[in-house]
Amino acid sequence: MVMFKVARVETTPYNDQKPGTSGLRKKVKVFKQPNYLHNFVQSSFNALTTAKVRGATLVVSGDGRYFSKDAIQIIIKMAAANGVRRIWVGQNGLLSTPAVSAVIRERVGSDGSKASGSFILTASHNPGGPNEDFGIKYNMENGGPAPEGITDKIFENTKTIKEYLIAEDLPDVDISAVGITSFTGPEGQFDVDVFDSASDYVKLMKSIFDFQSIQKLLSSPKFTFCYDALHGVAGAYAKRIFVEELGAQESSLLNCVPKEDFGGGHPDPNLTYAKELVARMGLGKSSCQDEPPEFGAAADGDADRNMVLGKRFFVTPSDSVAIIAANAVQAIPYFSGGLKGVARSMPTSAALDVVAKHLNLKFFEVPTGWKFFGNLMDAGLCSVCGEESFGTGSDHIREKDGIWAVLAWLSIIAYKNKDNLSSNKLVTVEDIVRQHWATYGRHYYTRYDYENVDAGAAKELMAYLVKLQSDLTEVNKIVKGIRSDVSNVANADEFEYKDPVDGSISKHQGIRYLFKDGSRLVFRLSGTGSEGATIRLYIEQYEKDSSKIGRDSQDALAPLVEVALKLSKMEEFTGRSAPTVIT
Ligand code: G6P
Ligand code: ZN
């Protein structure tokens, strides 16, 4: 067995290592500065209790983006030096974020070991490559992101760090081959266990869904399917699950080979960035000539996000979670005993609220960030949750789950078609959504993103909107001056959340203008960008009248959009006459 020594290396702090909503995300060039990654990793070890480091089992993997392979070797050497007993690595360093969560919760090592945490190497939906983004975040033993108490501690540590520990003489481990490599250090044995990236996750999915009914749907000639991994890590799971387990044709997979730079694309599953899929589904300007598939879906770089499309039809993420919640008990065996509760993030539309009310379910509205759902799930209060930002999931793990969402939709389609698969008629994605609107009403919804805006200007805009809120009469005067056909603003506030489980309070979670007719305008600053500031504007309008639920959403929302842009003086503050992305 190769022996290694522990070196203590002097270092000096960086002042910009504050983790955001989902870990530390920076340009690769920033991460490549001397000791930059080392400082963050040591600060993380120092923020954890001794029991979570010494003798512990940790997972280290990610979406395979550029710099991951170097980072994995560095983290292995630092873990060894810090007294970690075992490191688990997905083959080639690949594990989707949901798979990491599943591995922490479910995997048992050949010696009976269980993982107590993980470094996940991803910048999620941000592009990858030498000039793009890298990221690292820490997940806890429940499989969910570290709570703020820990991330704050990590940040404090990064500001005072003086040294880190590393096993410099530990040879690089071959992470392309499955197997265990053992070493000996001052405190005894240290193992690196490289394992198949998909099998634990596949096993979990098979325990949740009825694979047989999905297989039947996929083999029906009238159902056609398409999945785009945008060259992210979802590709490693798509082939195993959709093709090998469920019998989809290999040609239904688009961009399913994981690449370090995501093929030069922006691995974010929305109508702007998932161009190829959008065209194939018959949406957008450059749509294909061929008959589009009945169902299409995409994932982001680390496969926790999803976009669901029908033939020439877009399902908003806010509708998606509402529809999954409304059908889960009937269509998905995991939920057959009933839902414990449902939850959405504040800017997500109220479509889920209506379902919760109808089905008499516990309901929660939390700030943006998946960790808030995790607390509810750990306390047994929530089964299904989702966010407008293309995140949907359940309490099977503590991350959102892109492939789970697709399997949930396939299950619902299979369920709706269970009696007529042999006939010619298919209940389509669009049928399912329209039926849902007819039952529950429709929440017209759109989001405008202003990316990479000057950070100072963004703050000023937000401060202006907060100040405006103090005088609703004045607000309504301005609103009516812009459009007399919109309803009155009944209330305006900054969203604040008291966690019902741990009592913690999160302030300044977005500015809301709530209209009398149930419409909403929400403004918030993104917590996940890596440069400048991103302003998000969420616009929503509820329509119960079934004769008015079939409109084009941008048309239906045009008056509210106009109000939002003028009320916030968007162009004046940001210099932008149009958003970067509309979803
Ligand atoms: C990540 C988080 C989500 C969050 C999303 C958008 O994906 O896991 O919980 O909704 O980012 O965050 P942002 O702050 O950029 O709007
Ligand atoms: Zn992601």
Q: Tell me: the pLDDT tens digits for 416-430?
A: 999 887 787 899 999
Q: Are 438 and 450 in contact (CB under 8 A)?
A: no
- 30 burial level (CB within 10 Å; 0-12, 13-18, 19+): middle
**Ligand 1, pocket-test mutation among 368, 372, 388, 497, most atoms within 8 A of CB:** 368
pLDDT (mean) for 70-80: 98
The residues pairing with 523 across neighbouring beta strands, listed in sequence order, are 511, 537
Q: How many whole angstroms separate alpha carbon 215 and alpha carbon 33?
A: 49
Ligand 1 close to Cβ of residue 101 (< 6 A): no
Averaged confidence pLDDT in the chain? 95
287 within ligand 1 shell (Cβ under 6 A): no
Q: If you measure from the C-alpha of residue 304 to the centroid of ligand 2, how many angstroms do you get, rounded to a whole number? A: 5
Is residue 521 within 8 A of residue 469, CB to CB? The reply is no
Q: What angle do CA 61, 27, 228 make, to 5 degrees?
A: 55
407 confidence band (pLDDT: 50, 70, 90): very high
Question: Nearest Cα to 78, choosing from 92, 90, 93, 60?
Answer: 60
pLDDT, tens digit (0-9, with 9 covering 90-100), for 247-258: 999 999 999 999
Per CATH, 2-196 and 201-440 having the same topology is answered yes
Q: Buried b / exposed e across 378-396, counting CB within 10 Å, b at 16+?
A: beebbbbbbbbbbbbbbbb
Rounded to whole angstroms, the Cα distance separating 306 from 292 reads: 19
Does ligand 1 come within 6 angstroms of the Cβ of 527? yes
Query: Higher model confidence: residue 583 or residue 163?
Result: 163
Residue nearest to atom 11 of ligand 1 (CA): 528
Q: What is the Cα–Cα distance from 504 to 208, expressed in whole angstroms?
A: 32
State which amino acid sits at residue 258. Answer: P
3-state secondary structure 204-270: HHHHHCCHHHHHHHHHCCCCCEEEECCCCCHHHHHHHHHHHHCCCCHHHEECCCCCCCHHHCCCCCC
CA dist., res. 320 & res. 392, Å (int)? 8
Ligand 1 lined by 201 (C-beta under 6 Å): no
Question: Does residue 126's CB lie within 6 angstroms of at least one atom of ligand 1?
Answer: no
> Dihedral sign, CA of 489, 319, 266, 400?
positive
**Interval 85-91 mean pLDDT:** 98
Say what the pLDDT of residue 583 is.
85
In the chain, what percentage of residues exceed pLDDT 90? 88
Confidence of residue 148 (pLDDT cuts 50, 70, 90): confident
Predicted confidence band of residue 369 (pLDDT cuts 50, 70, 90): confident
pLDDT of amino acid 345: 97
Among 345, 371, 387, 524, which is best to mutate for testing ligand 1, by the most ligand atoms less than 8 A from CB? 387
Q: Say how many CA atoms lie within 13 Å of 484 toward its Cβ.
A: 0
Active site residue 182: no
End-to-end CA, the chain: 54
* C-beta neighbour count of 212 within 10 angstroms: 10
Specify the 3-state DSSP secondary structure of 45. helix
Confidence of residue 528 (pLDDT cuts 50, 70, 90): confident
374 CB near ligand 1 (under 6 Å): no
Distance of CA 42 to the CA centre of its chain: 26
Closest ligand 1 atom to residue 536 Cα is 16
d(CA 175, CA 73): 9
Nearest one of 347, 383, 379 to 363, comparing CA atoms: 383
Taking the model in full, what pTM does it have?
0.94
- Site to probe by mutation for ligand 1, drawn from 511, 528, 537 as the one with most ligand atoms within 8 Å of Cβ, is 528
Collapsing DSSP states into helix, strand and coil, what is residue 532?
A: coil
**DSSP of 414-479:** HHHTTTTTTSS----HHHHHHHHHHHH-EEEEEEEEEEEE-HHHHHHHHHHHHHHHT-HHHHHHHH
Amino acid at position 64, single letter: G
Of 544 and 305, which is predicted with more confidence? 305
CA–CA dist 261, 256 (Å, integer): 13
Q: What strands lie across the sheet with 520-525, from one edge to the other?
A: 489-494, 511-515, 520-525, 533-543, 442-453, 581-582
Q: How confident is the model at residue 578 (pLDDT cuts 50, 70, 90)?
A: very high
Q: What backbone phi and psi angles, to 5 degrees, belong to 112?
A: 85, 5
Alpha-carbon span 294 to 313, nearest angstrom: 9
Please give the order of strands across the beta sheet that includes 313-315. 253-254, 225-228, 295-299, 306-310, 313-315
Q: Give the pLDDT score at 363.
A: 98
How many helices (H) and strands (E) are present in the chain, helices listed first?
18, 27
**Cα 544 to averaged position of ligand 2 atoms, centre (Å):** 33
Q: What mean pLDDT comes out for the span 20-25?
A: 84
Contact 24/55 with Cβ under 8 angstroms? no
- Given this model, what pLDDT does residue 419 score? 86
Closest residue CA from atom 9 of ligand 1: 369
Ligand 2 center–CA 197 separation, angstroms: 17
Distance, CA of 581 to chain centre: 18
ipTM of this complex > 0.90?
Answer: yes
Ligand 1 pocket, 371 CB below 6 A?
no
Task: Report residue 311: phi and psi, to 5°.
Answer: -60, 120
pLDDT given at position 21: 67
Q: Which of 398, 401, 402, 436 is nearest to 416 (CA)?
A: 436
Quick check: 373 and 343 in contact, CB under 8 A?
yes
What is the reported pLDDT for 422?
A: 76
Give the closest ligand to the alpha carbon of residue 389. Answer: 1
Cβ atoms of 366 and 334 within 8 Å: the answer is no
Of 17-31, 77-91, 329-343, 346-360, the range with the lowest mean pLDDT is 17-31
Q: Whose CA is nearest to atom 6 of ligand 1?
A: 389
Active-site option among 44, 96, 116, 124: 124
Residue 141 DSSP code? T
CB-CB contact of 567 with 482 (8 Å): yes
In our burial notation (b when 16+ CB lie closer than 10 A, e otherwise), range 442-481 reads bbbbbbbbbbebeeebbeebbeebeebbeebeebbeebee
Per-residue pLDDT averaged across 95-112, rounded?
97
- The sign of the torsion formed by the CA atoms of 249, 251, 257, 261 equals negative
CATH number for the domain running over 2-196: 3.40.120.10
Residue 392 pairs with which residues in a beta bridge?
386
pLDDT for position 581: 86
Structure tokens at 41: 């990793």
Q: How confident is the model at residue 20 (pLDDT cuts 50, 70, 90)?
A: confident
Q: In this structure, which topology does domain 201-440 adopt according to CATH?
A: Alpha-D-Glucose-1,6-Bisphosphate; Chain A, domain 3 (3.40.120)
pLDDT digits (tens, 9 = 90+) for 126-143: 999 999 999 999 999 999
CB distance 387 to ligand 1 below 6 Å? yes
pLDDT-derived band at 512, boundaries 50, 70, 90:
very high
With cut-offs at 50, 70 and 90, classify the pLDDT of residue 371: confident
Cα 419 to ligand 1 centre (Å) = 39
Fold of 442-582: TATA-Binding Protein (3.30.310)
Residue type, position 481, single letter: G
Q: Ligand 1 mean position to 373 CA, how many Å? A: 13
Residue-level pLDDT at 531: 72
CB count in 10 Å sphere of residue 567: 20
pLDDT of residue 288: 60
- Please state the domain extents for the chain: 2-196, 201-440, 442-582
Q: What is the pLDDT of residues 261-319, one digit of tens each?
A: 999 999 999 998 999 999 999 997 765 668 999 999 999 999 999 999 999 999 999 99
**pLDDT single digits (tens) 467-488:** 999 899 999 999 899 998 899 9
pLDDT at residue 521 in the model: 96
